[in-house]
A and B are shown apart, each in its own frame.
Chain A
Amino acid sequence: MNQTVVSYLSQYEFYDHILALFGNNQGVLAFVIYAVLALVIVGMCATIGGLGTYAERKISADLQARLGPNRVGPYGLLQMLADGVKMMTKEDIMPFSADKALFYLAPLLCLTGVFATLAVLPFSSGFIMADLNVGIFYLVAISSLVGLGVFLGGYASNSKWSMLGGMRGASQIISYEIPVTISILAIVLLSGGMGFGTIVGSQGGLPHQWFMFHNPFAFLAFFVYGVGALAETNRAPFDLPEAESELVSGYHTEYTGMRFGFFALAEYIEVFVVCGVAAALFLGGYNVPGISIDILPMQAVQFVIFMTKTLLLYYVVIWIRWTLPRLRVDQLMSVCWKYLTPMAILNLIGCATWMVVFNGKSIAELILGSH
């Protein structure tokens, strides 16, 4: 059954008061609740994207034994606002022989692909905007719009370097979708459903109840997913399509001002989404260890736990970026096809075998006896 935020809220009495305000028109009220919550979530994630730029500069400074931005506000916190204002006031140039329609469309595709995935992220047990029964599948499918945006951005700039950067970026994204999707399939096997409510609901709060420690294949699947998702977001050691823009050029060379800001924002929010998915699938999501009362303040606790896990993974992602050297494009492709994909398929087969042989019990349940 597809649960939504609205069906969760309709359990409470204040919902009926608000419904009377709208003349008992449930459709309109549902639409308004979705619109308000969408604005809230998009605003929150855009803020997280901005904070991500600040966090990256501070953490990289820490790793490199320097200070980072500390002039603009207390501890340099307003640096992201300064960067945002700078980006918005830059001149919006378009190359003369570029393809106008696709030039406008490419950053929007990237941003749409990322924001549409926010609708299924499990922030807490009641406030998943739409707990689709095909939740994780929908998320992976919509993320492929980002690859399309990268390709069209490279093409529309009508310069050879941009086109090469765009083609490499798109081929990297579509190649790494395969080990990512197969790792996710292994988790779907373990939980018995594709909806985020099902997946997070079949885990528990304590570490031995997480899917990561369920069986050794799921443990490997976590790392395959992590590496693959980092490569999909053009991040960390896999940022050749972007790094070309630091060295020579890349798919967002010809983009200036807010259009480039769209590409950068899409990347930071996509990293947040990927970390959120990893936290939900492998690390137990929003489950609170121990307590299981279903009252409204519980939702806040679950939200805090989910965000903590996600931001911890975000920190690890930033850490990896500033530690490891960049991979060449042929090394990148060979890592995907020769190492990650066979490992992902092996994990899937291993998880399926484990489910059959041990009747779906995790290692902790086998050792301690099922509680």
Chain B
Amino acid sequence: MISRKNIVAILLGIELILNAAALNFVAYSRYVTNNLDGHIFSLFIIVIAAAEAAVGLAIVIRFFQIKETIHIDEATQLRN
């Protein structure tokens, strides 16, 4: 609920969200079922979060090369 304007801070928040969901899946597989489907799903969440962090940060770096700032309000145009 606390908003930040720095794009990297937004990516940090996204990592927190994904981790919360993954924790939920593992807890489900421990307390409700007897198999390990929750663990598998958590592993895939970790993989996807890492890939998304990598591409997201590449986009942030490109954004900085163009706009010289990483304030989210500067991201107003779809091209140029």
Q: Do chains A and B touch in the complex (CB under 8 A)?
A: no
* B residues at A contact (CB < 8 Å): none
* A residues at B contact (CB < 8 Å): none
